[in-house]
Amino acid sequence: MVMAYSWQEALLSTFAELPQHRGPYGEAPRAYVIVDFRGHPDLLARITATEDLSFGSVWAQTGLDIYGDVAPLLIEVDGASQGVLRGPRYENFNTVLVRVLEALHERTSGRYAMMSFASAVPLEKLIAHFGRFCDYALPDASEFFLHWYDSRILARALQVWTAEQRARFAAPVITLRYALRDGAGAELAGTGRLPADRPEGIERFTPEQHQRLFDLDYPDKLAVQLRRLYPGLLPGNPDQDALVPRVEAQVERARAHGVAGDKDMFDYVAWGVSISPRFDEHPLIREGLRGYRPDAEGGLAKALAGVPDAVWDDVQALHLEKRGVKDA
């Protein structure tokens, strides 16, 4: 059974590691959180206004450092905050950091904006280490940002990085803990030491890695488009997390039919999500898909233009019947 992710439990697990590890010279590890404040500048302002915390911007040594008001921060979890989270909780006693983390996790997608770990590596060196992974370059010298401090993007990056890049990223942490989209938590183990060998300059990606990252991100972008163009009209009115797996399934089916191009892919996914995820199994629709050519004028819409409206209605009605949904 997969355990649901809890940011409090993740931090307690991080705290439990503190007495069990030491740095190379006997240094005691400290507990940290990385918080993605890009969508939460008001919460970031509450952190930067306090003098009781040690923190720094992950962007400090990158080209994004000018955007300090929305920067992701690496924050040391202070002793008072550890005490509050360890419990017992006392009424009217809290800390700025715990209040900010509580407010963050009450917001949509807030659970993806925090990850925690312990490390004996000093704060300044951790900032320099993680900042190197905020962008990458291709062989043609084009450069791209990688916002890995959003745990949804980190999960994709971990699928794209080489084994050496993954190990180097995780090196200074004991265990990095973060939320996954399915509601579970994930852990990434490190060595608790800075990597011995660090390539000079910007992180390097192959064109294949870049394309893989784009492919992993594509369903999210399609889901955003669907929710923007059909607000409140998609079956079940799914949020982004619920919609993305449905979109992923339709993208896979579309590619099996040779569907290509943004417009044709969007049309296919929209029909699969709004009408029936198996609409392609109807004989008339299947026949139209066989005649589809990505480079043909009119694309997918023209290939299926001959399918009567009654067929689409029947396909949708059959899907709703199987789901046990009746017309009002």
Over the chain (328 residues), the average pLDDT of each successive run of 10 is 82 96 92 96 95 94 80 96 90 92 94 97 96 96 96 97 97 97 94 88 95 95 94 88 95 96 96 95 95 92 95 93 63
Residue 13: partners with Cβ closer than 8 Å, 6 or more residues away: 175, 177
- State the pLDDT at residue 64: 81
Asked if residue 246 lies in contact with residue 269, where contact means CB atoms within 8 angstroms, the answer is no
- How many domains does the chain divide into? 2
- Does a structural domain hold residue 307? yes
d(Cα 224, Cα 23) in Å, to the nearest integer?
44
Q: 248 and 155 in one domain?
A: no
Asked if residue 267 lies in contact with residue 300, where contact means CB atoms within 8 angstroms, the answer is yes
Q: 193 and 48 in one domain?
A: yes
- Does a structural domain hold residue 139? no
d(Cα 178, Cα 157) in Å, to the nearest integer?
14
d(Cα 230, Cα 267) in Å, to the nearest integer?
13
Q: 186 and 234 in one domain?
A: no
Q: 250 and 162 in one domain?
A: no
Residue 296, SS3 per DSSP = coil
**How far is the CA of 157 from the CAs of 38, 71, 74, 166, 201, in angstroms?**
19, 20, 19, 9, 19
Q: 233 and 277 in one domain?
A: yes
Q: Which of 155, 170, 199 is the last residue of a domain?
A: 199
HSE toward the beta carbon, residue 63, CA cutoff 13 A: 8
- Does a structural domain hold residue 76? yes
- Does a structural domain hold residue 204? no
Q: 176 and 85 in one domain?
A: yes
- Does a structural domain hold residue 140? no
Q: 236 and 186 in one domain?
A: no
**How far is the CA of 237 from the CAs of 227, 231, 265, 315, in angstroms?**
9, 8, 21, 20
- State the pLDDT at residue 169: 97
Question: In angstroms, how far apart are the furthest CA atoms of the chain?
Answer: 75
Closest CA to 95 of 37, 46, 162, 154: 46
Q: In which domain, by residue range, is 213 found?
A: 209-323
The tokens describing 142, both together, are 């084009």
d(Cα 85, Cα 66) in Å, to the nearest integer?
33
- State the pLDDT at residue 199: 80
The amino acid present at 278, given as its one-letter code, is: R
The amino acid present at 142, given as its one-letter code, is: S
Q: 163 and 103 in one domain?
A: yes
- Does a structural domain hold residue 328? no
Q: b vs e for 235-244, b when ≥16 Cβ sit within 10 Å of the residue's Cβ?
A: beebebbebb
- State the pLDDT at residue 285: 96
- State the pLDDT at residue 284: 96
The tokens describing 251, both together, are 């993208």
DSSP assignment of 48-93: HT-SS--EEETTTTSTTTT-GGG--EEEE--HHHHHHHHS---TT-
- Does a structural domain hold residue 2? no
Asked if residue 137 lies in contact with residue 204, where contact means CB atoms within 8 angstroms, the answer is yes
Q: 260 and 125 in one domain?
A: no
156, with CB counted inside 10 A (0-12, 13-18, 19+), is buried
Q: 62 and 177 in one domain?
A: yes
- Identify whether 24 is preceded by a cis peptide bond (ω within 30 of 0): no
136, with CB counted inside 10 A (0-12, 13-18, 19+), is buried
- Does a structural domain hold residue 276? yes
Q: 232 and 92 in one domain?
A: no
Q: 168 and 40 in one domain?
A: yes
